[in-house]
A and B are shown apart, each in its own frame.
Chain A
Amino acid sequence: MTMRLFINGEERSAAVHPLTPLVDVIRDELLLTGTKSVCREGFCGACTVHIDGVPTMSCLLPVIAAEGKAVTTIEGVGGPGNMNAVQHALEEHDVVQCGMCFPGMVMSMTAYMERRPAAPRADIKAAMSGNICRCTGYERIIDALLSIAAKEDTTA
């Protein structure tokens, strides 16, 4: 069955079963491999994409549920040369290690920081609990995210 998707502003189609997990369509059919498929049960957050702007785990979502909605993957939020504020802060604070969790982390925290740019440390930690990282021990990621608001304060 042909599924029609709006991904990163483009209309794309894929001939797959409608119940195929969205992450598999994104990675295997559309070859957008930035989204990571790690636990495949909605626990680690590495496959997070935006569906109509809302962070969603794409491993749990059948592709048919994304039809007609705007899907944004990590490839759609910015990259070298035009990184968004979250990516920029994470780079500047040297927090990346193996990097596998970061696409999902960036998707979750980009939405969160847009909604709550001045969130305190404890709230950011709570918001990050759906994104597991095995390398970094989290705290330096949180330092980086806190710096976004601090920077806006000084530039305002």
Chain B
Amino acid sequence: MSRTADPAAAVMDLPRRDAPDKLAGRTRYTVDMAGPGTLHAAIRRADIPRGRIIRVESGVARQMPGVRAIVTAQDAPGTHGIGISDHPLFAGKEIRYNGEPIAAVAADTLEQARAAAAAIIVEVEALPPVLTMAEALSPSAPLVHEGWKDYGVLFEGGARKGNIAWEAKVVRGDTDAAFARPDVTIVEGCYEVGRQSHMPFEPRAAIATFEDGRLHLVTSTQVPWTVRAVTSSLLGIPSSQVRITVPPVGAGFGLKFDCTIEPVAALLAWKTGRRVSLANSRQEEMATCLCRENAQIRIRSAVTTEGEIVGREATVLMDCGAYGGEQIFLTTMTAHTLGSNYRLGSVRLSTRAIYTNTPPNGAFRACNGVYNTFALERHTDEICAAIGMDPVEFRRRAVFRDGSIGSTGQVFEGEVLVPMIERMEALKQKSGSREAEAGGRLYGRATTVGSWFVFVGPSAATVNLNADGSATLVTSGVEIGSGTMVQALPQIVAGQLGIRPQDVVVKAADTDAAGYDVGVGGGRTTVSLGAASVKACEDVLSKLLPVAAEMLQTSQDNLVLGKGRIEIAGRKGSGATIASVAQRAQALHGPVTGSGSFTGQGVPSMAGCAMGHFINAIDIPIFAVHDCEVAVDPDTGHVEILSYKVVQDVGRALNPRAIHGQIQGGVVQGLGYALHEDVTIDAKGRIAQDSFETYRIPLAQDVVPVEFELFEGAPSIGPLGVKGAGEVPILNVGAAVACAVANATGKPVSRLPLTPPRVLGLLVSDEPPLDHPHIGKDWSSNVIALPQSVRAG
């Protein structure tokens, strides 16, 4: 072994270096950093879902005690967005959702800021809102964005029309021919899910100052570079004049994958020349949460008696709320979450992001995948019932094998899902059934599959090998709780350089110090920052090893790194410490530094299959198999989880203990989604849940220990063969619980969450199956326009 470090050197249960401080309350999150002398900001928000702003008068408010500045749309007239630039910082002429910012105040105290915000006179003309996707798609619906045609499109290719903010399509093969075959059973189902609120303990918060003429934002974000770009654009200053630093983040789960309140704090700091702190109250955080979107799905499949899926058509409606945001990008994901797990002879998919006058939605752990997996797996069990096949046997036959083709024509390599199903079957066998614990209640069980993926995107890393033999890793990575920055990355760097992970200093994100990064999310962090770090280490070694070879009078190929030393292979103790080589290198050539960059090289797909997709093929597929046993109380509709099992495709498990933490935490978040996390929109377009009391997230007594097995060795372009492990554990929880409840009750489970009233409703009523009249049964009625060639086919 020389330059190519043994990947196993990076595998260990490294403890978190941030744990002692976090356990002692010493960690300073953004919300802990305001301190004395800082101005506090408050936002005046709309209290209607749709209307025209006639007048905003802040003169009286400006004269109130302690008030230092007030800003409105006039101070930041631009727009931002992902895919479409449709989102202003403040509502100027139009209000598009209840809770939309109209103005913001900076004052000496938070109470003064809030009082002044409330005193701003806002005169509006209320207009009838569009609150549901069904309303938004009706031909007579008002347009949420009357000027949609004039918006800047930041990414070409998506079809758009009126309240359809974006449409992504997949067309591969001839589904008409498949559905016309005489030997197939046709199964059709409709599914629906509500929103999920992230509820991170630290709300979105930012502190802004101007230092030497440049803006410095300390913020609780997952995407420092997005905040840098959006804030500079809205303030009309060069992005090089904005510095973003990120302390430990009190959880994100995707909520902090967009720029939100940072430009408001920045504007107020600019106006006052003072340090300004802005943090959402819990009520504001929930009212404006960029939730996992509510969605409605129709799927139709043509299946042979042998379990071959010869044709599938699906339409997915995603509510983006008042602005396109993340949902524009997320329409891409259906191709993979509905189309990269079962082998499909032919497929047509339409995914539409729909504007409504409701709070904008955003990204949430395994975005889009969680509900598409729910819909797909319920649909799969309905197929099994229709053709009379055991659900596990059907999945064995129908899931991806080595060489299977995804919906967009991407070729998937390796036998992964089938052996994972077998691992799950063995785990079920080993653990036995908990049916006896159901007592007099209805018992059910289900095993589900799911597919997720890592979109790697660009990352940069710098490694300084210090003369004392330690290393400093500089990236734009953020520690949001998942452990990447305190476990995976120092483990990778230590393994590459042959030093101890505790001797790898990891610098917190600072856009003045580190290169560009897409952000922490989607399971990409360990993969992309890890790959950039590996390259930076290779750069370090290319400078270090020639010096070592000269010092040790041997060739570079003979050198072995480990335990802080560079040895001559096969001659233990023959070498020198890495510190002494680093000192020698520093004396000869200057300090040893290395830089590394990474981005996905792209994966081929079939030309013409995918339309309106931000990516046509996926860099790293990730598969999961979940199994769940439930007991359903027929009198109350309460669902108890009796057992939960996970087999997860992790590539290589760098820190198995940390992955266990992600699996237990992710599954429990999924149980909340499946059973009781219920976001509803009231008649005024508000999110009705405004507290931990009204939005019920799992408590200690709601949960069970998750049994799990890590499936290693599946192909991955990730460094050392890793895949992201933190995103995917939530993926098929809704699916597994729903299928188990359907199994227990014999009823068609088509909606999440499965709250007791909903389950009771299923048990006692004979209502017809869920239907979405606004999603046409004819798939081609659910697309804006198809290329001529496809229409003709």
Interface residues of A (CB under 8 A from B): 27, 31-41, 43-44, 46, 73-75, 77-80, 83, 87, 90-92, 94-103, 106, 125-126, 128-129, 131-132, 134-143
The answer on a CB contact under 8 Å between A134 and B199 is yes
Within 8 Å of chain A (Cβ to Cβ): is B766? no
Within 8 Å of chain A (Cβ to Cβ): is B704? yes
Among A39, A100, A126, contact of B29 (Cβ-Cβ < 8 Å): A100
Within 8 Å of chain A (Cβ to Cβ): is B18? yes
**Interface CB pairs A-B, < 8 A, 7:** A83-B24, A100-B201, A102-B23, A103-B25, A106-B23, A134-B251, A137-B706
User: Hey, which chain B residues are within 8 Å of A94, CB to CB?
Assistant: 13, 15-16, 19, 657-658, 661
Among B250, B282, B701, contact of A39 (Cβ-Cβ < 8 Å): B282
Binds A, one of B227-235, B381-389, B421-429, B665-673: B665-673
The answer on a CB contact under 8 Å between A43 and B25 is no
The answer on a CB contact under 8 Å between B248 and A99 is yes
Contact code string B9-28 (vs A, CB < 8 Å = 1, else 0):
00001011011111111111
The answer on a CB contact under 8 Å between A134 and B706 is no
Shortest CB distance B481–A (Å): 3
User: Hey, which chain B residues are within 8 Å of A38, CB to CB?
Assistant: 201-202, 282
Give the CA-CA distance A101 to B199 in the complex, in Å: 12
The answer on a CB contact under 8 Å between A135 and B19 is no
Shortest CB distance B553–A (Å): 44
Shortest CB distance B554–A (Å): 40
Give the CA-CA distance A43 to B689 in the complex, in Å: 14
User: Hey, which chain B residues are within 8 Å of A102, CB to CB?
Assistant: 22-23
Among A36, A43, A103, A106, contact of B691 (Cβ-Cβ < 8 Å): A43
Give the CA-CA distance A140 to B26 in the complex, in Å: 22
Shortest CB distance B188–A (Å): 36
Among B16, B693, B700, contact of A96 (Cβ-Cβ < 8 Å): B16
The answer on a CB contact under 8 Å between A99 and B27 is yes
Residues A139 and B24 in contact in the complex (CB < 8 Å), given A43-B691, A98-B201, A134-B669: no
**Chain A residue at smallest Cβ distance from B694:** A43
The answer on a CB contact under 8 Å between A87 and B23 is yes
Tell me the total A-B contact number using a CB cutoff of 8 A: 163
Within 8 Å of chain A (Cβ to Cβ): is B756? no
Among B22, B27, B31, B668, contact of A137 (Cβ-Cβ < 8 Å): B668
User: Hey, which chain B residues are within 8 Å of A137, CB to CB?
Assistant: 664-669, 698, 703, 706
User: Hey, which chain A residues are within 8 Å of B481, CB to CB?
Assistant: 97-99, 135
**Chain A residue at smallest Cβ distance from B282:** A39
Within 8 Å of chain A (Cβ to Cβ): is B588? no
Interface centre among A31, A80, A138 (most CB of B within 10 A): A138
Give the CA-CA distance A33 to B31 in the complex, in Å: 9
Instruction: Give chain A's interface secondary structure class.
Output: loop
Give the CA-CA distance A95 to B668 in the complex, in Å: 14
The answer on a CB contact under 8 Å between A75 and B25 is yes
Shortest CB distance A134–B (Å): 5
User: Hey, which chain A residues are within 8 Å of B635, CB to CB?
Assistant: none
The answer on a CB contact under 8 Å between A128 and B700 is yes
List 5 tightest A-B contacts by C-beta distance, closest first.
A34-B25, A99-B22, A98-B481, A137-B668, A100-B201
The answer on a CB contact under 8 Å between A33 and B28 is yes
Contact code string B141-172 (vs A, CB < 8 Å = 1, else 0):
00000000000000000000000000000000
Instruction: Give chain B's interface secondary structure class.
Output: loop
**Residues of B within 8 A of A (CB-CB), count:** 57
Among A27, A79, A129, contact of B699 (Cβ-Cβ < 8 Å): A129
Instruction: Please report which residues of chain B, range 70-97, place their CB below 8 angstroms from some CB of chain A when the two chains form the complex.
Output: none
Residues A83 and B480 in contact in the complex (CB < 8 Å), given A41-B692, A100-B251, A140-B664: no
Give the CA-CA distance A129 to B22 in the complex, in Å: 21
**Chain B residue at smallest Cβ distance from A127:** B700
The answer on a CB contact under 8 Å between A138 and B480 is no
The answer on a CB contact under 8 Å between B29 and A31 is no
The answer on a CB contact under 8 Å between B706 and A139 is yes
Shortest CB distance B594–A (Å): 30
Within 8 Å of chain A (Cβ to Cβ): is B491? no
Instruction: Please report which residues of chain B, range 693-714, place their CB below 8 angstroms from some CB of chain A when the two chains form the complex.
Output: 693, 697-701, 703-706
The answer on a CB contact under 8 Å between B482 and A97 is yes
User: Hey, which chain B residues are within 8 Å of A90, CB to CB?
Assistant: 19, 23
Shortest CB distance A101–B (Å): 6
Within 8 Å of chain A (Cβ to Cβ): is B440? no
Shortest CB distance B7–A (Å): 21
**Chain B residue at smallest Cβ distance from A24:** B110
The answer on a CB contact under 8 Å between A99 and B692 is no
The answer on a CB contact under 8 Å between A97 and B20 is no
Within 8 Å of chain A (Cβ to Cβ): is B32? yes
Known: A80-B24, A94-B658, A140-B660. 16 other contacts (CB 8 A): A32-B25, A38-B202, A74-B24, A80-B26, A87-B20, A87-B23, A90-B23, A94-B661, A98-B202, A98-B481, A99-B18, A99-B19, A99-B27, A100-B200, A106-B23, A137-B666
Among A31, A35, A100, A103, contact of B202 (Cβ-Cβ < 8 Å): A100
Residues A73 and B250 in contact in the complex (CB < 8 Å), given A90-B19, A132-B699: no
The answer on a CB contact under 8 Å between B700 and A129 is yes
Give the CA-CA distance A31 to B483 in the complex, in Å: 27
**Chain A residue at smallest Cβ distance from B670:** A137
Give the CA-CA distance A43 to B253 in the complex, in Å: 21
**Chain B residue at smallest Cβ distance from A139:** B705
Among B15, B29, B201, B665, contact of A91 (Cβ-Cβ < 8 Å): B15
**Chain A residue at smallest Cβ distance from B23:** A87
The answer on a CB contact under 8 Å between A34 and B26 is yes
Give the CA-CA distance A77 to B20 in the complex, in Å: 12
**Chain A residue at smallest Cβ distance from B692:** A43
Shortest CB distance B205–A (Å): 12
The answer on a CB contact under 8 Å between A125 and B701 is yes
User: Hey, which chain A residues are within 8 Å of B107, CB to CB?
Assistant: none
Within 8 Å of chain A (Cβ to Cβ): is B249? yes
The answer on a CB contact under 8 Å between A41 and B697 is no
Give the CA-CA distance A33 to B281 in the complex, in Å: 17
Within 8 Å of chain A (Cβ to Cβ): is B768? no
Give the CA-CA distance A44 to B533 in the complex, in Å: 38
Give the CA-CA distance A99 to B35 in the complex, in Å: 21
